[in-house]
């Protein structure tokens, strides 16, 4: 049933709303109390994202005020987080991250900086993930013309909370201090045989759902409606097909890159699980392809 639903999203993106409903029950897969503390926020974000699949495809209309509002809300949220008592040690980092959202760095400078700037962040899993995701939000917001930047603004906390869920055996303080430059013992994690665990199935299913969200959350990934040259006004003022295509492709890949960064952070300390997880995703996508081809019908008489 789930595979059939994933296939139907390719036919009609409005089925993505059902995926958000299913994702709202993800916290129920964890028994730890720390996950239940975040469950309400997770479900709230799923409800906020629920209407987006029913909006018109990006490219058919423009909402300049929302494009401006999303970075401002993003920067304000980071400043608010910097005042949280648990994030006192990261206050300077969060304030520096909020600056690009308010100042909207020069458009062309934001492209290389979004990939280079996070490399100089502290070697902490949470810090590095936030630096990459927040830096990628800057060029994405500059390339937005409608509600897509607000969609990503609501999608980013969902990614961060899923990362928190996967380290559910740690307290919030321990989670914020997980080092990225050395090994870490995870209970029941790295030392396992080749058997697939329920945890890996859960990660594969949720990440596949996230990929579908990035592909169809603001329109059809393969539709020409998503390729509106007006999104490039802040970058280029002359007609240059190759440059425009590269920028548009970069915009489409940014949400996928965010999901990839999340997955790499989740699997950072269990590299043996990468091969098993790849096999699981390969099997699931093959089954989706079978369901998709099963739906094809020859209407010729």
Per-residue pLDDT of 80-115, as tens digits, reads: 766 666 665 565 555 555 444 444 445 556 667 667
| pLDDT, mean over the chain | 76
Q: How does pLDDT run across 129-144, given as a tens digit for each residue?
A: 888 888 888 778 877 7
Q: How many helices (H) and strands (E) does the chain have?
A: 12, 0
Smallest CA-to-CA distance from 216 within 157, 256, 250 is with: 256
Listed in sequence order, the residues at least 6 apart from 115 whose beta carbon sits closer than 8 Å to its beta carbon are 135
Is the confidence at residue 76, as pLDDT, over 50? yes
Q: How does pLDDT run across 17-68, given as a tens digit for each residue?
A: 888 888 888 888 887 888 888 888 889 988 988 888 888 777 666 676 777 7
pTM of the model: 0.73
Q: How does pLDDT run across 243-296, given as a tens digit for each residue?
A: 777 878 888 888 899 898 888 888 877 767 788 888 888 888 888 888 777 777
Is the confidence at residue 153, as pLDDT, over 60? yes
Q: How does pLDDT run across 214-231, given as a tens digit for each residue?
A: 888 877 665 545 556 666
pLDDT confidence of residue 84: 65
Q: From its phi and psi, is residue 104 left (phi > 0), alpha (psi between -120 and 50) or beta? A: left
Angle ∠(253,200,250) on CA atoms, nearest 5:
5
pLDDT confidence of residue 104: 42
| Between 96 and 128, residue with greater pLDDT | 128
The residue assigned the tokens 């020859």 is 298
């Amino acid at each position: 049933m789930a595979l059939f639903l994933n296939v139907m999203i390719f036919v009609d993106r409005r089925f993505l709303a059902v995926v958000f409903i299913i994702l709202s029950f993800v916290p129920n897969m964890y028994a730890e109390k720390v996950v239940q503390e975040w469950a309400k926020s997770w479900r709230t974000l799923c409800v906020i994202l629920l209407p987006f699949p029913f909006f018109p495809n990006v490219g058919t209309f423009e909402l300049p005020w929302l494009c401006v509002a999303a970075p401002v809300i993003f920067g304000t949220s980071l400043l608010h987080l910097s005042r949280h008592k648990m994030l006192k040690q990261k206050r300077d980092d969060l304030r520096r991250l909020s600056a690009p959202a308010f100042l909207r760095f020069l458009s062309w400078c934001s492209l290389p900086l979004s990939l280079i700037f996070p490399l100089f962040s502290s070697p902490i899993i949470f810090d590095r993930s936030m630096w990459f995701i927040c830096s990628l939000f800057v060029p994405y917001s500059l390339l937005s013309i409608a509600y897509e930047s607000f969609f990503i603004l609501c999608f980013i906390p969902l990614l961060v909370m899923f990362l928190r869920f996967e380290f559910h055996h740690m307290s919030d303080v321990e989670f914020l201090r997980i080092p990225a430059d050395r090994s870490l013992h995870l209970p029941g994690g790295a030392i396992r045989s080749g058997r697939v665990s329920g945890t890996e199935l859960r990660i594969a299913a949720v990440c596949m759902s996230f990929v579908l969200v990035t592909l169809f959350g603001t329109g059809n990934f393969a539709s020409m409606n998503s390729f509106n040259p007006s999104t490039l006004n802040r970058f280029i003022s002359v007609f240059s097909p190759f440059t425009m295509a590269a920028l548009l492709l970069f915009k489409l890949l940014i949400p996928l890159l965010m999901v990839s960064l999340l997955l790499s952070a989740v699997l950072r300390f269990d590299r043996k699980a990468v091969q098993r997880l790849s096999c699981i995703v390969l099997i699931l996508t093959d089954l989706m392809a079978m369901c998709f081809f099963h739906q094809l019908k020859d209407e010729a008489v």
